[in-house]
Amino acid sequence: MERHIIIQDITPCLDNGLYPLKRLAGESLGVEATVFRDGHDRIRVVLRWKAADEKDWREAPMQCVNPGLDRWMGGFLLEQNSRYAFQIEAWTDRFASWIADFRKRVDAGVPDLEGEWTEGLRRLTPRAATASGADAKRISQGVRLIERRDAEALLAEPFCTQLQESAAKTDERQDAVRSPESQVMADRTRAVYGAWYELFVRSQSPVPGRHGTFRDASRRLEDIRGMGFDVVYLAPIHPIGRTGRKGPNNSPACKPGDPGSPWAIGGPEGGHDAVHPELGTLEDFDAFVTAAGKLGMEVALDLALQCSPDHPWVAAHPDWFFRRPDGSIQYAENPPKKYEDIYPLDFDSTDRKALWEEVRRIVLFWAGHGVRIFRVDNPHTKPVAFWEWLIRSVQEEYPDVLFLAEAFTRPPMMLTLAKAGFTQSYTYFTWRNTKAELSQYMRELRSGAAAEALRPNFFANTPDINPYFLQAGGRPAFALRLVLAATLTPSYGIYSGFELCENAALPGREEYLDSEKYELKCRDWDEPGNIRALVRRVNSIRRSNPALQRPEGIFFLDSDNDGVLAYVRHTLDRSNILLVIVNLDPSNVRESMVSIHPPSLGLAEGSRLRVHDLLSGETYVWGNRNYVKLDPAKTPAHILKLERTI
């Protein structure tokens, strides 16, 4: 049959449906499309969908919201944490087409309608046998009206519309056209919202020089939860290789007792599915996960797909690694840095199928031990096709598993990894410091495909990144960057030591001096000058204000000082509105006038606002133009909650 119906311009959509959309379970997905046919016949359009564990499609009618442009709209509820398929189906509604033509003839006063009456009977009568309940009764009544030639009763509303709806349910859809299937991943809330705390288990011992254990780390969980964190992210916990082991500050001179880098994974004790013996046993790890869960936290594991020269895979699967011309295995390099303790994996090797399946087994192994979040190390150095396959395969068994991409690389690659399935992504926030940089970057993240696919996680620092801004700005810099990270996006993180304002660096480099990556740390968590109370307060504000728990609902306010950034965070229904004003200069007091346009907040022009500072506890009345003065050594920011208008 020739195709008469066209379905085009479906939104939302990622790369013509090549990649799945991202939403949250419990939300509705609204879908629009342009749908039309040649000629004058009427069409019916439905939205079809099913979850990954469902065999049968469900459907709901779409409505034409713009007849002049043939724009149709519909939606369905994402009831569960699952991947859904959806598509649009359209067909010619033969009876509705007859009604439309018949009405025109009646309205025009055409005298002889016998042929039309006969055609109406032909199109409606067979449907009475296939309909049921109220639909069958309505169709039978319509047949009787046609037989009696009662045009007035047949075309009367609401009966006529109801009759067409009943008749449509029995359509055979002979010329039906379906759009290609699109997909949407309905994630759980943690995919969008959460505060992350990164730590090295081996540094959690309260005794200097003693290797920390899972039991030591368990004792820190209440403190971490007390600061308001939702996710405890662990640096690799696996056995560490001996060959090429690095000493302090990535030195090739390793002394006896140097613990090495946790990213040099694998040794005689095992590989990616084993735990370092000095950390404890697998049972100790399970107990740690359970303890975190009882406190309302989740454990995230580092998924670093690389090996030490002592990893069991090196001997068992030599084809999984890159070879030099002399036959030796190539170690990792990032000139001028050399990582003789790490072998990269070749995901395009001739034995790649076995390698891919082994990685899947590893992820499922840890998922079986209660891990539902993986922070993936350098995913941009592995094939995108591999990640697309792995993430989908894992989520088919564990749909609640989340993946965070640690890909500090070119923006197109970061976006493509997000499209391929990564739940969240590290970002360039770490290096965006000025008013112009921050506002522009937020606009980039909230526009186009990035807004649809890339969920940012604003880590303020990492074991690999000791930003120059923090090195130079001291305690005020840590405080203001905390507020920015925690209020600009729903997901953010810090690496332990941030709350102590640790910033000692290797000269001229964004790296930590005496980095924890290569040696044990023993910290005094109550060290003077810490910002633990501020961390606790900011996380409490996040938990109490839905405006900070979703990526939507942000716009910037005018301030006449380039050192002051002002923005609004709000829920879509404007029931929760926050005004955030941050001094971006850690060294100087900044003063500014901040402008507000009340209608942008859903308020009447000229409204005066009673706002409560959630950081200081003070209350102010704000109008269109408002004076602020922020001393970074005391209060780097206002987080003002709109209480009411006066």
Give the separation between CA 339 and CA 268, rounded to whole angstroms: 20
Residue showing tokens 């070879």: 323
Handedness of CA 371, 373, 378, 384 (dihedral sign): positive
Residue ranges of alpha helices (H) inside 14-168 are: 94-107, 114-124, 127-130, 133-147, 151-155, 159-168
Give backbone dihedrals phi and psi of 504, rounded to 5 degrees, phi first.
-65, 130
Pair 433, 584: CB distance under 8 Å? yes
| Cα–Cα nearest to 615, from 630, 635, 632, 587 | 635
Active site includes 524?
A: no
- Catalytic-labelled residue, pool 187, 198, 377, 516: 377
Please report how the helices 94-107 and 159-168 are oriented relative to each other, as an axis angle in degrees rounded to 10: 150
What counts of helices (H) and strands (E) characterise the chain?
16, 31
- Catalytic-labelled residue, pool 406, 452, 502, 585: 406
Give the separation between CA 527 and CA 531, rounded to whole angstroms: 10
Q: Would strands 577-583 and 554-556 be described as parallel, antiparallel, or unpaired? A: unpaired
Give the separation between CA 267 and CA 241, rounded to whole angstroms: 5
Distances (CA, A) of 612 to 506, 550, 602, 625: 42, 21, 18, 17
Amino acid sitting at position 549: Q
Pair 340, 304: CB distance under 8 Å? no
Q: Would strands 298-303 and 58-61 be described as parallel, antiparallel, or unpaired? A: unpaired
Tokens matching residue 255: 């002394």
Distances (CA, A) of 486 to 338, 429, 537: 35, 12, 11
Give the separation between CA 484 and CA 486, rounded to whole angstroms: 6
Residues 6+ apart with CB under 8 A from 544: none
Give the separation between CA 501 and CA 482, rounded to whole angstroms: 11
3-state helix, strand, coil in the chain (%, to 5): 35, 25, 40
Give the separation between CA 17 and CA 130, rounded to whole angstroms: 36
Q: Which residues pair with 628 in a beta bridge?
A: 592
Give the separation between CA 576 and CA 584, rounded to whole angstroms: 25
Residue 149: CB atoms within 10 A of its CB come to 11
Amino acid sitting at position 102: F
Give backbone dihedrals phi and psi of 300, rounded to 5 degrees, phi first.
-105, 135
Active site includes 605?
A: no
Alpha carbon 196 to its chain's center: 14
| Residues involved in catalysis | 377, 406
